[in-house]
Amino acid sequence: MLLPADRIRARVEELGREIDRDYPDGVCLIAILKGACFFLADLARAISRPTRLDFIGISSYGKGKTSSGEVKLTKDLDLSIDGADVLIVEDIVDSGVTLSYLVHVLEQRHPRSLRIAALLDKPDRRVAPVAVAYVGFQIPDEFVVGYGLDYAENYRNLPDVCVLGD
């Protein structure tokens, strides 16, 4: 097991306190479906400022472990982000292709600010540069599942983050 649930919980609470300090007027959290749902649910409860939640569907991975390289918007936001302080909530930054695409899409909607919070970061795999303001954990280049992360849609409900095959 790479990250047990209690370590994740403690780190998410720290991130919530940082976000509280950085966004005294509150923040709009946008989670990328589906992997970021568990992180969103815990992070939102660790933030005590006024918070709005929304979801966006983006897909860059097929059913396997490697990216198709092709990014698609599969579900759009419900809320307007015009003038809002927006924090994208993502499970993991791997190549960076998904997030650099999403940042490009959302910037065109004129948020007041736009930053990224990712539970996990695999810096060795980066292809597209992307600035991640809040990182839960940097991890080695291994394929992980649990706490929202899937392999072919399975294992999302595991409470811990595990390396696939462990």
Which residue number, 8 or 92, has a Cβ lying nearer to ligand IMP?
Answer: 92
> Taking the complex as a whole, how short is the minimal distance between the CB of residue 150 and Mg ion, in angstroms?
6
Active site residues: 94
DSSP secondary structure letters along 14-35 = HHHHHHHHH-TT-EEEEEEETT
Per-residue exposure over 13-43, b if at least 16 CB sit within 10 Å of its own CB, e if not: eebbeebeeebeebbbbbbbebbbbbbbebb
Q: Considering only residues 43-102, where is the footprint of Mg ion by CB under 5 A?
A: none
The Cα 119–Cα 117 span in angstroms is 7
Interface region with ligand IMP, contact rule CB under 6 A, candidates 4-12, 13-21, 42-50, 96-104: 96-104
Out of ligand IMP, Mg ion, none, what residue 60 binds, judged by CB under 5 to 8 A for its kind, is ligand IMP
Yes or no: say if 70 and 95 are a contact pair by the CB < 8 Å rule.
no
Nearest distance from residue 83's CB to Mg ion, in Å?
A: 30
The number of residues that bind Mg ion (CB under 5 A) is: 1
Question: What is the smallest separation between the CB atom of 5 and ligand IMP, expressed in angstroms?
Answer: 17
Query: Which tokens sit at 68?
Result: 């198709």
Binding mask 119-148 for ligand IMP (x = CB under 6 A): ------------------------xxx---
Please choose, out of 14-22, 27-35, 72-80, 125-133, the segment that lies near Mg ion by the rule CB under 5 A: 27-35
What residue type is 79 in one-letter code?
L
Binding-site member from 8, 15, 35, 132 for Mg ion (CB under 5 A): 35
Rounded-to-integer distance, Cα 98 and Cα 48, Å: 29
